[in-house]
Amino acid sequence: MVGLGIMGSAISGHLLTAGFDVLGSDVDPAAVDALVARGGRAATLADLAREADVVVTSLPGPEAALAVCGELGGVTVVETSTLSPAVKNRCRELIEAAGGTLLDCPISGTGAQARTRDLVVLGSGDAEVFATVRPVLEAFARSVQHLGAFGNGTTMKLVANLLVSIHNASTAEAFALGTAAGLDPKLLFDVIRDGAGGSVIFDKRGPLMVDRTYRPATAKVSMFLKDVALVRELAGTVGVTTPVLDATLPLYARAADEGWADADAAALFEILRGDER
């Protein structure tokens, strides 16, 4: 396992529970120590390239992904990070040049969902290799989908992230409106989630807005800034306008500027709540 952050630490925990021998690598020694404390083993990238049958990567951005793929060599890599199609393709080229196979397998779900194994793997790439790694994926996800040709997983993830990014903002806006108009936030959450206005994101972000507690994050504001940019890049490539998504970008940027970059995206409520005062 390369990358032991919010998602990677949860994934590695489920793999350990399922009985896999998990070797972990991360730039943060504390994250590696936490894995070792749970029964995993610390490893370098060279160790993983030499010993691992399958390497799962969960990385924060393109620089890390390209650096890691450049060092892993000829292994089977399950790449779960949210990256642009161009970066995923370059990662595949690096792995294939060394004799390995890279599967494009981004994940739909939050950090909280990762902890409860409530994830969906959006897999794509070589179908035969995918079949061999399915038991690994099923150990940490409730649903494992193979979407065909390499890159389809990333495309599906970006489409999903368009919706999630909008739902984060619309949930915050609903809480800002309702509480400013005098509704109790817990009552607002309980009633809306039971009707047509509810959503998975409303269920996940709503309780954080009720409590106004945004750390530790299940999905950071800074991550959504990155993801919105990736969605807009894809939309520009295929010639589709995204006016609703575009309207959320200033809100995420403002949240980051006002000290919420490392907080959960539910902190958008604080920005809109401030606007109501």
Quick: pLDDT tens for 164-211: 999 999 999 999 999 999 999 999 999 999 999 999 999 999 999 999
Q: What are phi and psi of 27, to 5 degrees?
A: -70, -15
Contact 85, 150 (CB under 8 A): no
Q: Please tell me which residue in 88, 157, 204, 220 is annotated as part of the active site.
A: 157
Dump pLDDT digits (tens) for 111-154: 999 999 999 999 999 999 999 999 999 999 999 999 999 999 99
Query: What single-letter DSSP state applies at residue 266?
Result: G
Beta-sheet pairing, 107-108 with 101-104? unpaired
Identify residue 211 by its one-letter amino acid code. D
pLDDT digits (tens, 9 = 90+) for 62-101: 999 999 999 998 899 999 999 999 999 999 999 999 999 9
Q: Is 220 considered catalytic here?
A: no
What SS3 state is found at 83?
A: coil
Q: Is 109 left (phi over 0), alpha (psi -120 to 50) or beta?
A: left
pLDDT interval class at 276 (50, 70, 90) = low
Domains of the chain: 6-148 (3.40.50.720), 154-276 (1.10.1040.10)
Give the residues across from 76 on adjacent strands.
54, 101
In which band, very low, low, confident or very high, does the pLDDT at 274 lie, cut at 50, 70 and 90? Answer: confident
Distance of alpha carbon 13 from alpha carbon 8, whole angstroms: 8
C-alpha span between 200 and 193 (Å, rounded) = 9
Q: Please state the pTM of the whole predicted model.
A: 0.94
Tell me, what DSSP letter sits at residue 53? S
Please report which helix (H) or strand (E) contains residue 23, including its range. strand 23-24
Percentage of the chain modeled with pLDDT above 90: 98
Q: Which of 55-82 are b and which e, b meaning 16 or more Cβ less than 10 Å from the residue's Cβ?
A: bbbbbbebebbbebbeebbebbbbbbbb
Can you read off the two tokens belonging to residue 87? 């970066």
